[in-house]
Amino acid sequence: MKPVITIDFDCCLAFESVQNTGWIVMGTGVLKPIEPVIAYVKRKYAKGFELHIVSFREEKDKQEMIDFCKQQKLDIASFTCTSSKSKTPFLKALKSTLHIDDSLSVCLGAEAAGIRTLFVDFGQLKDDSQKELASSLGTIRVQLD
């Protein structure tokens, strides 16, 4: 059996590009790849890891993730939509050895269950105590623009 890596989708593999009209900033509905994370999981895949997506998304929003991963030539073994339910039980069921996520609370929950995590940092943490907590986790820094 191959070792499993689980990956969040939104703000981890992909982010929605925004348009700044000068008056307001709006989402365009277009997903853009987050290259450093995609390159990282492709390297892991080449080393023999199996990749699974675990997202807070609803089931109805699954196809968009499948299409995006196909476009990015990512070979994903399964897509799980937790519909905002805690990810930890799903990560355990998949026997995840590493979970990659931009949510600090998801990372801390997984670590508490003995699953190593990689925190995707795009500057979303504003609070010093949160930054302190994140500093104990492995981190990939990315820029979303």
Shortest distance in whole angstroms from residue 13 CB to Mg ion: 9
Residue placing its CB nearer to Mg ion in the complex, 8 or 50: 8
How many residues touch Mg ion under the rule CB under 5 A: the total is: 5
Q: What is the largest CA-CA distance in the chain?
A: 53
Shortest distance in whole angstroms from residue 10 CB to Mg ion: 4
**Of residues 8-37, those binding Mg ion (CB under 5 A):** 8, 10-12
- Token code pair at residue 43: 């390297």
Shortest distance in whole angstroms from residue 71 CB to Mg ion: 19
The site string for Mg ion over 92-131 (x = CB under 5 A, - otherwise) reads ----------x-----------------------------
Shortest distance in whole angstroms from residue 106 CB to Mg ion: 8
Residue placing its CB nearer to Mg ion in the complex, 2 or 27: 27
Partner residues linked to 78 by β-bridges: 52
Shortest distance in whole angstroms from residue 6 CB to Mg ion: 12
**Would you count residue 68 as binding Mg ion (CB under 5 A)?**
no
SS (H, E, C) the chain: CCCEEEECCECCCEEEEEEECCCCEEEEEEEEECHHHHHHHHHHHHCCCEEEEEECCCHHHHHHHHHHHHHCCCCEEEEEECCCCCCHHHHHHCCEEEEEECCHHHHHHHHHCCCEEEEEECCCCCCHHHHHHHCCCEEEECCCC
The binding site for Mg ion (CB under 5 A) comprises 8, 10-12, 102
